[in-house]
Amino acid sequence: EVRLVESGGGLVQPGRSQRLSCAASGFTFNDYTMHWVRQVPGKGLEWVASIGWNGADTDYANSVKGRFTISRDNAKNSLHLQMSSLRPEDSGLYFCAKDVGVQSLVVFDSWGQGTLVTVSS
Amino acid sequence: ETMMTQSPGTLSVSPGERATLSCTASENININLAWYQQKTGQAPRLLFYGASIRATGFPARFSASGSGTQFTLTITSLESEDFAVYYCQQYHKWPYTFGQGTTLEIK
């Protein structure tokens, strides 16, 4: 069974940094592209970033490009999102998600339960 | 950016009846469309991708169709567990965008 468990959320001041992590199990982690998707509670979903199976290819939404860095450690089956220069509009529930296919489609077939990030002074 | 528009925003249907949800893309996305179901307090769950390929775990009363810019999700014989928020998402081109969601509520 695929299991994704996010951690690292919390209250952070504007302009500061925060690092999110996702522990993956139940599948061959280094076969799959992985993603971060966020959701403002009660609102819609926003794709944030993606990383290819070996970490060489990354992709970001315009809203986070240059401030967020996605990375992975295949030896530890973990995914990370380093967030810097945080803004109040970055607040939300951050989900770690697995791609549906070995060949990346940017379709999210397994999700964690999310970790909540609140950017506020 | 490809805009995804879902209609209606809220759909009230009685159990046992049929629900039809729509998703419109602002440009041609071929069949590069996914649907997700999200229940309150839970993560979204993949329902369909490739516009009509049903994901594991969903029964045949769920169906989806469409291509280009117009897509439809149909749920027949609604059951209590089907009442949720449904999102469409295009993965045809960057940035990968979601619709605003349709809330399917019990009438």
Whether A45 sits inside 8 A of B91 (CB atoms) is: no
Alpha carbon of B3: minimum distance to chain A alpha carbons (Å): 12
Predicted local confidence at residue A43, as pLDDT: 87
Mean pLDDT, consecutive 10-residue segments, chain B of 107 residues?
A: 97 97 98 97 97 96 98 96 97 97 95
Q: Is A22 helix (H, G, I), strand (E, B) or coil?
A: strand
Closest partner residue to B96 among A44, A106, A112, by Cβ? A106
Whether A108 sits inside 8 A of B36 (CB atoms) is: yes
**The residue type at B14:** S
Predicted local confidence at residue B16, as pLDDT: 96
A34: nearest Cα among A88, A80, A76, A86: A80
Contacts of B74 (CB under 8 A, 6+ apart): B18, B19, B20, B21, B62, B63, B64, B65
Q: Is B36 helix (H, G, I), strand (E, B) or coil?
A: strand
Predicted local confidence at residue B90, as pLDDT: 98
Closest partner residue to B34 among A107, A111, A114, by Cβ? A107
Alpha-carbon torsion angle A60, A62, B32, B102, nearest 10: 110
Predicted local confidence at residue B74, as pLDDT: 98
Give the rounded percent of residues in chain B with a pLDDT score beyond 70: 100
Whether B94 sits inside 8 A of A59 (CB atoms) is: yes
Structure tokens at A109: 């077939």
Predicted local confidence at residue A103, as pLDDT: 82
Predicted local confidence at residue A42, as pLDDT: 83
CA–CA dist B14, B18 (Å, integer): 8
Predicted local confidence at residue A101, as pLDDT: 86
Q: Beta strand pairing status for B102-106 and B10-13?
A: parallel
Predicted local confidence at residue A27, as pLDDT: 97
- A→B contacts (Cβ < 8 Å), by residue, are 44-47, 59, 61-62, 95, 100, 105-114
**The residue type at B80:** S
| E-only strand ranges, chain A | 3-7, 10-12, 18-25, 34-39, 45-51, 58-60, 68-73, 78-83, 92-99, 108-111, 115-119
- Give me the residues paired with residue B90 across strands: B33, B97
Closest partner residue to A105 among B42, B49, B97, by Cβ? B49
Structure tokens at A60: 């970001």
Whether A113 sits inside 8 A of B43 (CB atoms) is: yes
Q: Are residues B38 and B84 in contact, defined by beta-carbon separation less than 8 angstroms? A: yes
What sign does the dihedral A6-B103-B18-B22 (CA atoms) show? negative
Structure tokens at B61: 């009363």
Chain B residues with beta carbon closer than 8 angstroms to that of A106: 91, 96
Whether B95 sits inside 8 A of A108 (CB atoms) is: no
CA–CA dist A18, A1 (Å, integer): 29
Closest partner residue to A62 among B44, B49, B95, by Cβ? B95
Chain A residues with beta carbon closer than 8 angstroms to that of B96: 47, 106
Q: Which 8-state DSSP code applies to residue A59? A: E
| Low pLDDT (below 50) residues in chain A | none
